[in-house]
Amino acid sequence: MPSKRPDTRFPPPGHDHAPCVEDMLARADQAFATRGMRLTPLRRRVLENIAGSHTAVGAYDLLDRLARSGERRLAPISVYRALDSLVEAGIVHRLESRNAFFACHAPHASDRRQVVLACEFCATVAEISGEAIFKGIAAMARAAAFKTERTLVEVIGACARCAADREAMTDA
Amino acid sequence: MPSKRPDTRFPPPGHDHAPCVEDMLARADQAFATRGMRLTPLRRRVLENIAGSHTAVGAYDLLDRLARSGERRLAPISVYRALDSLVEAGIVHRLESRNAFFACHAPHASDRRQVVLACEFCATVAEISGEAIFKGIAAMARAAAFKTERTLVEVIGACARCAADREAMTDA
DNA sequence: CACGATCTGGTAATGATATAACACTCCATC
DNA sequence: GATGGAGTGTTATATCATTACCAGATCGTG
């Protein structure tokens, strides 16, 4: 049965991010607390910037945004440290195929078994649950006597909206 | 039924790369020819360097190796151009989670449906065929109205040998 | 052969991503 | 109030990748 907000997919055009961000911050507080970590002001600012959209953003994009919205420009290492802690807390993930980061809008277990769909046009990222897929991959790894630490499934392509837009363009 | 060299997994310690490289070069000649591309001396040198191990190597590692074995140091762009052509020919793949490149020792169709196992200790990479997995992922993407362009499955962990080594170390 | 189209790779500069090393502050704890 | 760990600042550097421009090689065609 569907819950109140089951949609971890691509948000519609008019989508208001504000409630997502609220939610995120609440879950972040929780996640940091249960891990005995601190959600410091810097980390929170970084998280807000990432969570402000459903897209994957690069570390240097974040630096720019923080510089615009905040006081003095941070050093890259500061952002990377904040990102590390957010990733460790499981509240932000890394999009490996793009060297970028995205906020996790879909609460899930810490052994992340999510297929990531990344639109290469609008940079939007969606996570969908993929238990069966991950089970299958784990079995294959075991068969090769490989000890899995982390599994990464990323699908690069076009979300429905971007696909439609591009279709329209090639028609014209 | 197993063929003469079905092993696309992790090579044993005493493994002699020479025949692999021979094979690789033969398949590379083939791959370039059928695509109307040219396997130039530079590209061949780069390929030999990658194929000389079963590990993923970074572009700048390659630069260093080429500089040591060859004449004058190449510019990064030269190596990247060679890598592009090798990747396009399907003879080298990119390990996205490490921004590195590895030679493809397992001939397969151009729509690559291979699960990549990458050992984080010895950097060895193995490809295993994952038809069913990729079918499943494609179905999930379709269900999300996502138009897949490329799918990436990478498993990061420890190969059997490295896992054993580390076990021994923690015991000690 | 002469011509132009295309491919290849050299040179130089720059952009983009990520980490190392070390110092200081803050704060919980003893 | 001494100690120690976590967090962050500062500075420098490492690593990954591309843009712009040009010279020479190669090849199909008249």
What does the pLDDT look like over B19-31, one tens digit per residue?
Answer: 878 889 999 999 9
Cα A162 to Cα A21, A57, A65, A97, B145, distances in angstroms:
24, 18, 25, 19, 11
Instruction: Share the mean pLDDT of chain B.
Output: 89
First to last CA, chain B: 42
| Torsion (CA) A51, A115, A14, A161 in degrees, nearest 10 | 140
Cα B32 to Cα A99, B49, B57, B72, B104, distances in angstroms:
30, 18, 22, 26, 14
Closest CA-bearing residue to C1' of C11: B75
Q: Is the pLDDT of residue B1 over 50?
A: no
- Residue B75 CB closer than 7 angstroms to strand D? yes
CA distance A52 to B38: 47
Q: pLDDT tier at B171 (50, 70, 90 boundaries)?
A: low
Q: Which residues of B touch A136 (CB under 8 A)?
A: 130, 132-133, 136
Compute the average pLDDT of residues A105-112. Answer: 78
Q: Is the pLDDT of residue A7 over 80?
A: no
Residue type, A55: T
CA distance B20 to B3: 15
Q: Report the chain A residue with the minimal C-alpha distance to residue B7.
A: A144
Q: pLDDT tier at A19 (50, 70, 90 boundaries)?
A: confident
Q: pLDDT (tens digit, 9 = 90+) per residue, A52-78? A: 889 999 999 999 999 988 778 999 999
Query: Which pLDDT score, from 0 to 100, does residue B126 have?
Result: 95
Could you tell me which residues come within 8 angstroms of residue A141 by beta carbon, excluding any fewer than 6 positions away? A147, A148, A151, B115, B117, B155, B157
Nearest to residue A47, comparing CAs of A8, A101, A99?
A101
Q: Do B157 and A137 touch (CB under 8 A)?
A: no
pTM: 0.90
Q: Report the chain B residue with the minimal C-alpha distance to residue A7.
A: B144
Which tokens go with A61? 């994009």
Q: pLDDT tier at A166 (50, 70, 90 boundaries)?
A: confident
CA distance A42 to A9: 28
Please name the residue that has the structure tokens 């590390």.
Answer: A84
Q: Is the pLDDT of residue A4 over 50?
A: no
Query: Which pLDDT score, from 0 to 100, does residue B6 have?
Result: 40
Q: pLDDT tier at A97 (50, 70, 90 boundaries)?
A: very high
- CB of B155 within 8 A of CB of A141? yes
Compute the average pLDDT of residues B1-16. Answer: 59
- CB of B63 within 8 A of CB of B74? yes
Query: Which pLDDT score, from 0 to 100, does residue A159 have?
Result: 95
Q: pLDDT (tens digit, 9 = 90+) per residue, B26-68? A: 999 999 999 999 999 999 999 999 998 889 999 999 999 999 8
Could you tell me which residues come within 8 angstroms of residue B171 by beta carbon, excluding any fewer than 6 positions away? none
Cα A144 to Cα A75, A141, B125, B129, B172, distances in angstroms:
43, 5, 12, 12, 26
Q: Which residues of B touch A12 (CB under 8 A)?
A: none
CA distance A44 to chain B (A): 26
Q: pLDDT (tens digit, 9 = 90+) per residue, B71-129? A: 788 999 999 999 999 999 999 999 999 999 999 987 777 788 999 999 999 999 999 99
Q: pLDDT tier at A150 (50, 70, 90 boundaries)?
A: very high
Interface probe, candidates A147, A162, A165, A170, chain B, greatest B C-beta count within 10 A: A147
